[in-house]
A and B are shown apart, each in its own frame.
Chain A
Amino acid sequence: MNIKKLGKLALPYLVWMLVLVGIPLLMIFILSFMNTDGVSFAGATWTTAAWEKMFTLADTTNLQILGYTFLTAFVATVICFLIGYPMAYIVARSPFSNKFVILILTIIPMWSNSLLRNVALKNILSESNILDSLLSRIGLSFSIVFANQDQATFISIVIGLVLTFLPFMILPIYTVIEKIDESLLEASMDLGANRVRTFAKVTFPLSMKGVTTGIIMVFLPCFSGFAIQKLLSSGTVYVLGSLIEVNYIHDINFVSMLSIVILVLIFGSMMIVNKVDKEGATLV
C-alpha cells in the first residue's frame, strides 16, 4: 500500500476533523482574543482582556485558582501512582491464571457511581458521619480531625480524586507489566542482578510507557474537572473547571481562554506520551 492511497483514504476523516474539531478550536482561540456578547460576532472587538484577567499580577485570584488546581491534580496523581504501581505490579506478577479478573475485582468499587461515592466520602470525612452514628450504638466513636477547614478541603478533594481516577493509573501499568517477558527477568538475575536491582534496571524501565499513560490519564481529568472538587468542598473551592462552569454563560471569551490553557496542557502531555511511546515501540 502506498502513501498516496492512504492519503486518499484519510481524506474523509480529515474533512470530518476539520469541520468538527479544527474550526471549533480555531473559533475558541479567536474568541479568547475578543470581546463578544456570547457566541456572536456582532459588535465584537479585539482584546487581550481575557488573557490579562488570568495572567495578571494585579489580581492573582485566578492565578491562585490555577495553582490550586494544579496542586490538587499533582498530589492526586502522585498518590495514584504510589498506590497504583504496587497494585498493578503485585497482580501482574501474581501466579494466578485469571489475573485480569482479580484486577477488575480490586477496582470495581471505584467504578460505582462517582456522585454517590463522593457524597459518601464527604459524609465519612465530616464530623458527624455515618460510621460514627453506627459505632456510637456500641459506645465507640469515629471522626477524622483536621487542623483547619482548608486542610480538610484539600485532603477531601485529593482523596476524592484518587478514589475516582486510580483505575486509570492501575490499568495501563498492569497491561505493560503483564506483557514483560519473564525471560528478561531471568536474564537479569542470570547476570547477577538481585530482585531489587532487576526491578530497577529491567521491570521499571520497561513499564515506563504504562506509567506515562497512567499519569496523563489521571492528571488530565484531575486538572480539568470540577464536580468532585465542588462536591467535596461544598462549593467553597474554585478550580479551573469551576471557573468555566460559572463563567460560560456571561463571559465566553474568558472561558475560551481557559479552554485554550487546558488544551495546551493536554497537547503538551500528549507529546510526552508520544515521545515515550516511540521509545516504547521497541518494547512490543
Chain B
Amino acid sequence: MAKKLIELKDITKMYDGTAVVDHINLYINENEFITLLGPSGCGKTTTLRMIGGFEKPDSGEVVMNGAVVNDIPPYERPINTVFQRYALFPHLNVYDNIAFGLRNQKVPKAEIAERVENALKMVSLPNFALRKVANLSGGQMQRVAIARAIVNKPKILLLDEPLAALDLKLRQNMQYELKEMQRKLGITFVYVTHDQEEALTMSDTIVVMKDGVIQQIGTPTGIYNEPKNRFVARFIGESNILDGVYVRQNLVSFMGAEFDCVDTQFADGEPVDVVIRPEDLDIIDAVGAKLIGEVSSSIFRGVHFELCVMVQGKEFVIHTYENRKVGEHVGLRVDSYEIHLMKVEHVEH
C-alpha cells in the first residue's frame, strides 16, 4: 500500500471574509504525481502555499508524515517550491541562485558545483551559470526556478504552473524530464496547472478544483471518462453535454430518442446530464439514424476534423477522420458504453 505523505484535513482559508479554499480534504501518497487543476483564481496557489508553509489555514490541519505541521516554518519542511512568479534572487547570478539551497544545507563546494551543473543541463541551460537573472527571458527564468528547486532533491516538490512560459517543444521536454525525476528520485510532486492536457499526460492523480472546492479527485482516465459533473466534463476536454432522463436500468432518453447505456446508479425517471466526448460520436447515414443533423462547420485540426452538427437546434462537436461538407445531412451514432451519465447538480454556473 502506498504511504500517505501529506494530508490536508478539512482545510479552509479565508481572504477578506470569503473562503478561497473551502473545506478541502486530500491526501497525497509518497512518490505520487498529483495535479491541482482548475480555472484561474480557484485557489490552487493558495492550497500549494499552505502545503509549503507560507500560509496558515484558518481551520483544518496540514499533516505531513503523520504530524500536524500547521506551525512549522517553510525552512523546516522537506519541501521545495517552483513559484508561479519565479522569485529568483536579483542580486545573485544563475549559479548562486541554484546553489542557494545547497549552501544552506552546507553541501561541500565540489558537490554543489556538480549538482548545479547537472541541474542546468536538465533544464537545457548549460553555460548560463554566470548570467545575471535580470537579463534572462521569461522562459529561461522559469527554468532557473525549476533548477533551483530540483537541485535540492527534496522529498516533496511543489510546482506552481512551472511550464507556463515555455514553448511547446521545450514544455514537452521538461514534462518528460520532470516525470523522469519523479521515477528516478522518488520525489512526490504536487503540481499546479490550468492546462488540462498537461494534467492528463503527467499526473497519477488529478484534483479538479472550482471556487476553492474540490470537484473531483481521480486518475486521468477516470476523470476524463467519468466526470462527476458538468464543470469537470467541460473543464477536462471538450464535451457534448445534454439533458436526459434515466428511463430505467440501462436505458436513457435524450434528444427525443432512447439509448442503451451502462450506468446503473440512478433511479428510474431521474433527470441526468449526459456526456458524450467528441471522439465517441460516429457519423453515419442520415437514413434510420436516431440523431440527424446538418453539418454547420468543419475545421481541420491536424490529425482530425472538428465538425459541428446541428441536431434539433443543439450543436454537437464531433472529432472524425473523415471530412463532411457543410450543409450535408448526417446521422450520429454513439456506443452504449460511451454514453456517460452524471447526477444533475442543483447549482449551475
What residues of chain A have their CB less than 8 Å away from a CB belonging to chain B? 181, 183-184, 186-194, 197, 201-202, 205-206, 279, 282-283
Q: Which 8 A-B pairs rank lowest in CB-CB distance, beginning with the nearest?
A: A191-B101, A192-B104, A187-B87, A183-B87, A282-B134, A189-B74, A189-B75, A190-B81
29 sample A-B contacts, Cβ–Cβ < 8 Å, listed by A number = A181-B87, A183-B87, A184-B87, A187-B87, A187-B88, A187-B89, A188-B100, A189-B74, A190-B81, A190-B83, A191-B75, A191-B80, A191-B101, A191-B148, A191-B152, A192-B75, A192-B101, A192-B105, A193-B100, A193-B104, A194-B73, A194-B75, A201-B100, A202-B89, A202-B91, A205-B91, A206-B90, A206-B91, A279-B91
CA distance A265 to B52 in the complex (A): 50
CA distance A187 to B54 in the complex (A): 10
How many whole Å from B53's CB to the nearest CB in chain A? 8
Question: Is B132 located at the chain interface by the 8 A CB criterion?
Answer: yes
Contacts A184-B90, A193-B104, A202-B91 aside, 10 further interface pairs with beta carbons under 8 A come to A183-B85, A187-B88, A189-B74, A191-B100, A192-B152, A197-B104, A202-B89, A206-B91, A282-B90, A282-B91
Contact A186 B91 (CB under 8 A): no
Contact B91 A183 (CB under 8 A): no
Residues of A contacting B: mostly: helix
Select the residue from A189, A197, A282 with max chain B CB neighbours within 10 A: A189
Select the residue from B52, B80, B90, B148 with max chain A CB neighbours within 10 A: B90
How many whole Å from A157's CB to the nearest CB in chain B? 36
How many whole Å from A125's CB to the nearest CB in chain B? 42
| Contacts A205-B91, A206-B91, A282-B90; A190 near B85 (Cβ below 8 A) | no
The residues of A that contact B132 with a CB separation of less than 8 Å are 282
How many whole Å from A71's CB to the nearest CB in chain B? 32
Question: Is B79 located at the chain interface by the 8 A CB criterion?
Answer: yes
CB-contact partner of B75 in A190, A206, A283, under 8 A? A190
| Contacts A186-B54, A190-B75, A193-B75; A283 near B90 (Cβ below 8 A) | yes
The residues of A that contact B90 with a CB separation of less than 8 Å are 184, 206, 282-283
The residues of B that contact A194 with a CB separation of less than 8 Å are 73, 75
How many whole Å from B339's CB to the nearest CB in chain A? 47
CB-contact partner of A189 in B73, B105, B134, B148, under 8 A? B73
CA distance A188 to B148 in the complex (A): 11
| Contacts A188-B100, A191-B148, A206-B90; A183 near B74 (Cβ below 8 A) | no
How many whole Å from B128's CB to the nearest CB in chain A? 16
- Residue in chain A with minimal CB distance to B101: A191
B:193-246 near A, CB below 8 Å: none
B:46-88 near A, CB below 8 Å: 52-54, 73-75, 79-81, 83, 85, 87-88
How many whole Å from A278's CB to the nearest CB in chain B? 12
CB-contact partner of B80 in A190, A193, A279, A283, under 8 A? A190
B:147-189 near A, CB below 8 Å: 148-149, 152
The residues of A that contact B152 with a CB separation of less than 8 Å are 191-192
CA distance A155 to B222 in the complex (A): 78
The residues of B that contact A188 with a CB separation of less than 8 Å are 89, 100
Select the residue from A186, A193, A197, A282 with max chain B CB neighbours within 10 A: A186
- Residue in chain B with minimal CB distance to A206: B91
CB-contact partner of B74 in A181, A186, A197, A282, under 8 A? A186
